[in-house]
Amino acid sequence: MPFDPSQIRVGHVITRFHGAGGAKNTLMTCAGLVAAGYQVDLIVGASADRWRAEGSGVNWIQVPSLRRTLHPLHDLRAAGDLLRLFRERRYHIVHTHLAKAGILGRWAASRAGVPLIIHGLHGATFSPTQSWLTNTLYLLLERQAARGSDRIVSVGADLQQRYLAANVGRPEQYVLIHSGMDLRAFAAARSLSAQQRAAKRAELGLGADDVVVGYVAALEWRKGHHRLIQVAQQLCPRFPHLRFLFVGEGFDAGRLQDMVREVGLTDRILFSGYRTDVPEIMATLDVKVFASEREGLPQVLVQAAAVGLPVVAFEAEGVRELVRDGWNGTVLPQGDVNGMVAALGRLIQQPQLRQEMGARGPQLVDDRWHIATMQQKTLALYEALLTAKGFTDPS
């Protein structure tokens, strides 16, 4: 290696830092860099859980002006704050994540003269489900930001192709590095005994004989819970032992719970809130559903495959990397409520089909999903870029 990693200063910038997949990906990437000897700052916005980074070895820096929602005043302040921070810290690499941090962070890094600028692509910022103005604005900003990016790291092949098709960046700028995750607990959960499964269900308010359809996702409108409520309205009258379980927390929790009350399904659609025992909960499910409008690479589908669950999903980026239609689940057009009703109806009535499809899922979980693989690929990318820039004496 032509440079000393301990002399390389890296700033990872992320808009929000909670329990979502992008934050986990970022933290594990940072931890791998720290282990390799790099100096790593984790720069987070106003909405962040510091405790999640404890023990990682990263240096925590919070920028309160960096917020998720669009706000001209806050955004201008955040851009200025990031620019001052980058000039002060004199980073050799700035690696941004998520929409707001990606756009403002890359602008600031370019103005600060940061030698290497990398963006982590965790999901599409532009989508036909958004307003025309919002969609157009994000697309223009992404194209502009891509011009100043040395590399764009995509967590999924579908996401990468979507950005290229929208003329965001050039093919040679993109690198595919799947999100790594610790799947040992999910694989182990496949071996839960009938007694353990029944006990976990009882804890969640579910019966041992219920057919349970589960969704693990933040309670945000774009995740599509409202579509699943529509599905439940059609299926619950037909199947008395059917239950839906929504696992997660989020700023639309109250709105969704109100919807469930309005349609009279409070005893059929249960909200677990935030849980730390997701592998065991997944192992109690009969079917995993996925209804998000847009994603990068849905980590929950990797986890569902590892547990051995059949999946019924709406089409979104990354879904077909984990769900093979008709083999380990069903993939439907985005928002196709009637199609999901039909697909779930088949699985509810055919326990053997559920078992056969679920048993195929673990075959899709290979080394590309491991944390070590993600970290090794990121280190290789950094080393190649630094070497190409001639970093033989970076101090």
- Partners of 214 in the β-ladder: 245, 288
Dihedral angle sign, alpha carbons of residues 379, 316, 24, 191: negative
Q: Does residue 249 fall inside a structural domain?
A: yes
Q: How far, CA to CA in Å, does 327 sit from each of 130, 292, 337, 339, 383?
A: 32, 21, 21, 17, 40
Let me know whether 20 and 161 are in one domain.
yes
Regarding whether 300 and 204 lie in a shared domain, the answer is: yes
Does residue 143 sit in the same domain as residue 202? Answer: no
Residue 393 lies in a domain: no
Are 116 and 242 contained in the same domain?
A: no
Rounded CA separation 343/389 (Å): 53
Token duo for residue 270? 């249960």
pLDDT value, residue 326: 96
The number of beta carbons lying within 10 Å of the beta carbon of residue 261 is: 11
pTM given for the model: 0.86
- Tell whether 235 and 91 lie within a shared domain: no
Phi, psi dihedrals of residue 23, rounded to the nearest 5°:
-70, -40
What single-letter DSSP state applies at residue 53?
A: G
Q: Which residues of the chain have pLDDT under 50?
A: 394-395
Strands in 116-121's sheet, in edge-to-edge order, are 59-62, 39-44, 9-14, 93-97, 116-121, 151-154, 174-176
Q: State how far the Cα of 295 lies from the Cα of 66, in Å rounded to an integer.
A: 22
Give the chain's length: 395
Q: Has residue 271 been placed in a domain?
A: yes
The answer to whether residues 346 and 317 belong to one domain is yes
Backbone torsions φ then ψ of 252, nearest 5 degrees: -105, 15
Short-list 36, 41, 42, 35, CA closest to 4: 36
**What pLDDT does 395 receive?**
46
- Domain contains 66: yes
Domains in the chain, number: 2
Q: Do 149 and 227 sit in the same domain of this protein?
A: no
Q: Is residue 266 part of a domain?
A: yes
Q: Do 147 and 217 belong to one domain? A: no
If asked whether residues 98 and 134 sit together in one domain, one would say yes
Q: What is the CATH number for 263?
A: 3.40.50.2000
Domain assignment of residue 10, given as a range: 5-180+370-388
List of residues 6+ apart from 42 with CB closer than 8 A: 12, 14, 17, 26, 27, 30, 53, 56, 58, 59, 60, 61
- Which helix (H) or strand (E) element contains residue 42? strand 39-44
Contacts of residue 127, Cβ cutoff 8 Å, sequence gap at least 6:
135, 293, 294
Looking at residue 1, what is its pLDDT?
Answer: 58
Output Rg (C-alpha) for the chain, integer angstroms. Answer: 22
395 within a domain of the structure (yes/no): no
Asked if residue 44 is part of any domain, the answer here is yes
Is residue 155 domain-shared with residue 192, that is, in the same domain?
no
Distance CA 172, CA 136 (A): 24
Q: Evaluate whether residue 394 is within a structural domain.
A: no
Amino acid 392: pLDDT: 63
Do 21 and 157 fall into the same domain? yes
Is 83 in the same domain as 27? yes
Structure tokens at 320: 């077909």
